[in-house]
Chain A
Amino acid sequence: DAMVIQNPRYQVTQFGKPVTLSCSQTLNHNVMYWYQQKSSQAPKLLFHYYDKDFNNEADTPDNFQSRRPNTSFCFLDIRSPGLGDAAMYLCATSRDRGSGGSETQYFGPGTRLLVL
């Protein structure tokens, strides 16, 4: 089945140790998003790729970077994780045809990051 896949589902890292989270999709969607969601809070958009164009949110810390080597894959790199970066990281995709239609976002299962 077509889907959005995130690996791993749970990731434990040490304070300050770089970590990479991965997302892949078989939907052939041109837009991919990374959200951070902390407990009982709304998903917060970190950045997204529209095709190859990277769009960073103004309040996303420099500690967070992203790569999209091809249509199917997108990575979230946290260069120096702090305790405050422990959260669920959600990848989502959508097909944006530029018409402003009902292109909903399809979410992966998320990766829960624990920082020790």
Chain B
Amino acid sequence: GQNIDQPTEMTATEGAIVQINCTYQTSGFNGLFWYQQHAGEAPTFLSYNVLDGLEEKGRFSSFLSRSKGYSYLLLKELQMKDSASYLCAVRDILPGGYQKVTFGTGTKLQVIP
């Protein structure tokens, strides 16, 4: 099975930087995804990490440490539209080669003026 832990809620100020952490426990790790989900809408893909290190994509960066079972999503120059839930999702290779993606419960980020 998998355990994925994220903070439930965070608040940050417009223009600031926020880091959303995700820890996981898995047996056949094969990649970690971050998704953004606005209320009532479907998740949209933000980033993917499978090797240790930092992946940067504009205002968004994602970091992975496989040995620690740890990832974070870094959002810079926060904008009001960044208020959303951020879902950490882990892909496992299960016995038989079957791949499965499991989502965390998400971190609800509120950006305030």
Residues in chain A within 8 A of chain B (CB atoms):
40-45, 55, 88, 90, 96, 100, 102, 104-110, 112
Contacts and interface: CB of A to CB of B under 8 A. Distances in A.
Q: How large is the interface on B (under 10, 10 to 19, 20 to 34, 35 or more residues)?
A: 20 to 34
A104 B42 contact: no
Given A100-B31, A100-B93, A102-B50, A43 B103 contact: yes
Chain A interface mostly: loop
Given A42-B106, A102-B50, A109-B42, A55 B98 contact: yes
Contacts of A112: 40
Contacts of A109: 41-42
11 contacts: A42-B87, A42-B102, A42-B105, A43-B87, A45-B102, A100-B30, A104-B48, A105-B45, A107-B42, A108-B42, A109-B41
Contact of B41 (A43, A105, A110): A110
Chain B interface mostly: strand
Interface of B: 4, 30-31, 33, 40-45, 48, 50, 87, 93, 98-106
A105 B45 CA distance: 7
Nearest to A91: B42
Contacts of A41: 105
A100 B45 contact: no
Contacts of B99: 96, 100
Given A100-B99, A104-B33, A43 B48 contact: no
